[in-house]
Amino acid sequence: MEEIGHFINGKRVAGKSGRFTDVFNPATGEIQARVALATVEELNDAVAKAAEAQRGWAATNPQRRARVMMKFGALINEHMDELAELVSREHGKTLPDGRGDVQRGLEVVEVCMGAPALLKGEFTDDGGPGIDLYSMRQPLGVVAGITPFNFPAMIPLWKMAPALSCGNAMILKPSERCPSTSLRLAELITEAGLPEGVLQVVNGDKETVDAILDNEVIQGVGFVGSTPIAQYIYGRAASNGKRAQCFGGAKNHMIIMPDADMDKAADALVGAGFGAAGERCMAISVAVPVGAETADALVERLVPRIEKLKVGPYTAGDDVDYGPVITAAAKQRIEGLIDSGVAQGADLVVDGRGFSLQGYEDGFFVGPSFFDKVTPEMDIYKEEIFGPVLSQVRTDSYEEALKLTMDNPYGNGTAIFTADGDTARDFAHRVNVGMVGINFPIPVPLSYHTFGGWKKSAFGDLNQYGPDAFRFYTRTKTVTARWFSGIKEGGEFSFKAMD
């Protein structure tokens, strides 16, 4: 059985803890490897080495650091198929989705190739007699990235590329369900010229994460995962004096106005609701048609499209629309929530329970499910299902649809489909959600903007990637300098002169 360890000081090492957890092949249900879970001592040791390495890395000028990103980007491109396969093998998503996972991470690496421009400081000339002020951005030191299972390439890259470009060292703790892609990325960035110890990949579970949160050397924590864990990590990291940004779960609504192109709206809902088995924090899980006619027109178009979806292993190639969910427990939880929707009175129009695929009977597959007439009191509305389940909540007016979206505790992404510019503009302006799509179902911003939700979808300050990441991974120092030769005659410094 393959044993997956850590990546410490530029190479793979075995775990010493004797603690492991299984890594499954979600398509077959078989255990394909086991991954080591680091102890507090292993974590602290990795941090001490990272702190040593960080000093030299921070002293390397930003352009040289950016050159490492350039080579890293080239290597990711060169190894695209291999990385996509690694993603799909442990996660179960289709190969095109695996490639997309790598590609969206690569785009953040590409922005980091221009890091020197984003790290420039500010300067005020002659702020007073002979006085100049300048602000510089300095790295935090050692930071940590704690990432979820659902984007094994993209999210580790969102964390490591900006953090390292800013001159930090990073402890990356990937999801124990999909650890291999992070280890391979660490090898590639080392090949690209990153000095040993600057990126340490430490696999682990809660014990390892708690060791990160309590380690005094670690200055910042970037987390992505479910809301309860995001809230927990934010609280513990912040109370230990660390800078923290913790991104959580989602329940993304898509409003469909009566004037929308119904075929395009239905296509968008199927892609955004069922793609990657619904295991995306930007998946649309709630369709909100305005008016009974719109709702009926959608049902008519959605049902044949959903029934046509092909579910299977990534190895089946282009024939498959989405793969299995991540674990047997996830499958059981999703099917349990579908049961609850039926029991609580929603109309289950397409039932994905009990899905079985010949030759893959033990795989964690869930067929696509579609509920109509869902109400906000039902568990299928309240819970983030994180599976291939789309719920339709009928509304009578735009204002009611907007209120539903705004009253939801999550605020990651949302979308509106309409032909009316005034409605679209009003929605974008008023809705209390971080990322908004207009006739665009999954509005993940491009890598030179920034990614982040509102409400219970994010704890802490600043977004991921783009200019915000450069603010999160640096701290500002401002120098006020006075040079007496610059004081003009009669211009003796006084606080008055500064007024």
**């793969």: which residue's tokens?**
323
Does 148 bind ligand NAD (CB under 6 A)? Our answer is yes
Sequence-distant (6+) residues with CB within 8 A of 105 are 76, 151, 153, 154, 155, 156, 157, 158, 161
Least distance in angstroms from the C-beta of 453 to ligand NAD:
5
**Can residue 457 be called a binding residue for ligand NAD (CB under 6 A)?**
yes
The answer to whether 431 and 414 have CB atoms below 8 angstroms apart is yes
| Of 160, 185, 161, 155, residue with least CA distance to 171 | 160
Which are the catalytic amino acids? 281
Minimum separation from the CB atom of position 456 to ligand NAD (A): 10
Binding piece for ligand NAD, criterion CB under 6 A, among 96-104, 168-176, 191-199, 415-423:
168-176
> What track of x and - describes contact with ligand NAD for positions 228 through 257 (by CB under 6 A)?
-x-----------------xxxx-------
Instruction: Note whether 384 binds ligand NAD by CB under 6 A.
Output: yes
**Integer Cα distance of 208 and 197 in angstroms:** 18
Tokens encoding 400? 């009611």
Shortest distance, CB of residue 227 to ligand NAD, whole angstroms?
Answer: 6
The verdict on 146 binding ligand NAD (CB under 6 A) reads yes
Is 463 one of the binding residues for ligand NAD (CB under 6 A)? no
Among 7, 149, 371, 427, binds ligand NAD (CB under 6 A): 149
Task: Write the DSSP string, 205-259.
Answer: -HHHHHHHHH-SSEEEEEEES-HHHHHHHHHHHHHTT-EEEEE----EEEEE-TT
At 446, give phi and psi (nearest 5°): -65, 165
CA distance 324 to 367: 9
Give residues 394-413 in contact with ligand NAD (rule: CB under 6 A): 412
Is 175 a binding residue for ligand NAD by CB under 6 A? The answer is yes
The verdict on 109 binding ligand NAD (CB under 6 A) reads no
Q: How far is the CB of 154 from ligand NAD (least distance, A)?
A: 9
Nearer to ligand NAD, 333 or 373 (CB): 333
Looking at residue 387, the DSSP 8-state letter turns out to be S
Query: Does 281 sit near ligand NAD (CB under 6 A)?
Result: yes
Can residue 90 be called a binding residue for ligand NAD (CB under 6 A)? no
Angle between helices 227-239 and 206-214 (to 10 degrees): 30
List residues binding ligand NAD (CB under 6 A): 146-151, 173, 175-176, 205-206, 209, 224-226, 229, 247-250, 281, 384, 386, 412, 453, 457
